[in-house]
Copies of this chain bind each other. A is one copy, B any other.
Amino acid sequence: MQAGHGAGHDAGHNGVMSETTSGTSKGTSLPSGEAGLLARILPHLSQGPAVEVGPGDDAAVVHLPSDRLVVTTDTLVEGHDFLPGTSHPLWIGHKAAVQNLADVAAMGARPLALVVSVSAPADTPPLAFEQLSTALAERAGADGASIVGGDLGRAPQLTITVTAMGALAPGDAPILRSGARPGDVLTIGTEQLGRSAAGLALVLAGHVRIAQDRSVQGRPRPLLHDLEDPLAGEVVIWHNAPEPDLSLGWTGGRAATAMMDLSDGLGRDGSRIAAASGVDLHLDRAALEHDVRRLAPLAAALELDPWQWVLHGGEEHALLATFPPDRVPAGFRPIGTVHAPLDHRSPQITLDGDPLPGDGWDHFA
């Protein structure tokens, strides 16, 4: 962990890190600069056996089980990727870990190490840094990875960039998006799609506030206004801290012909596999009706379409994979089939034969 050399000046701040933890630093002394922050953060970062040099030097040194490094990076920005007052540092850290671990798992590789860059306003409570670090380290550790280094700096709003690294086992090739073949089965590695989108809908409709939390590891809980549906709390937590089974990627998922994690919705991500593999994907409506039915009462209360959540909801981070029909492993359930595209037509994704309505998410559209 180290810090840059800034040219800037301070501005006022009212972000998630101060709102959700305001008052929590009472009774504890403020940190004396970076050294004080690091003294709070570093004890939460236990180092696995693969780590030769952890935080504290110019760079970390990690022993890989093979020479094939797998690496991915993703950023969460307050006000864009989560809204002030509707998430919590423990969830933000969890989500930042999951979305990166999922990308490593989607290559059929096992995560080993993460580095984390956190930029935050100067008045961010030290407890928030500690909670963020604890959650990152716990979620990474659950999949066998260590936080081996990072960077602390200032920004007008909380910004977290995680880079996750893993390695393929010796002799293993990466599972790409381009390997789906006609005759394969399209599957998803979750029992319930659409929860993250449902949670986002509750956040955007103003139903969600997060209960204050005064301990480092106490679980935050959502306070919901004007909603009776018992599913509401579950989907808000899933949106803020999704918990897909990522180990499917480096276990059963190794048999996949193509694999990716669901970041931008079934429609958009499915189209990516279709385009990369040069195939059509046919989604089976009956296979998704279970997912829709469970979310339907909540969607009705919001006057929204649950099919939109299931077909186009992003940030599930479950694994979307294709397998030969006789090789679908436990944990993946069939939701469609893979076909050769019709002549002279670009690869596409359909639902019971019709073009998929709607679209996923584009940051710069």
Binding site for B on A (CB under 8 A): 2-9, 31-37, 52-53, 56-77, 79-83, 86, 99, 102-104, 106-107, 109, 113, 115-117, 119, 122, 148-157, 159, 161, 163-166, 168, 174, 176-177, 200, 203-204, 259-261, 263-264, 276, 314-315, 361-365
A75 adjacent to B363 (CB under 8 Å): no
Nearest CB in chain B to that of A107: its residue: B59
14 extra A-B contacts, CB within 8 A, seeds A4-B363, A59-B174, A80-B153: A5-B81, A7-B86, A57-B260, A58-B104, A59-B72, A59-B104, A60-B72, A64-B64, A73-B115, A81-B153, A152-B363, A152-B364, A156-B156, A165-B165
Residues of B close to A57: CB separation below 8 A? 107, 174, 176-177, 260, 276
Task: Give how many copies assemble into the complex.
Answer: 2
Nearest CB in chain B to that of A67: its residue: B64
Residues of B close to A66: CB separation below 8 A? 67
A63 adjacent to B68 (CB under 8 Å): yes
Residues of B close to A155: CB separation below 8 A? 77, 80, 157, 159
B363 adjacent to A71 (CB under 8 Å): no
**A contacts with B: majority SS:** mixed
B363 adjacent to A3 (CB under 8 Å): yes
A73 adjacent to B150 (CB under 8 Å): yes
16 CB contacts below 8 A, A to B, read A3-B364, A4-B80, A8-B81, A33-B362, A56-B276, A57-B260, A58-B106, A58-B260, A60-B71, A61-B68, A63-B68, A71-B149, A74-B117, A75-B117, A79-B156, A151-B161
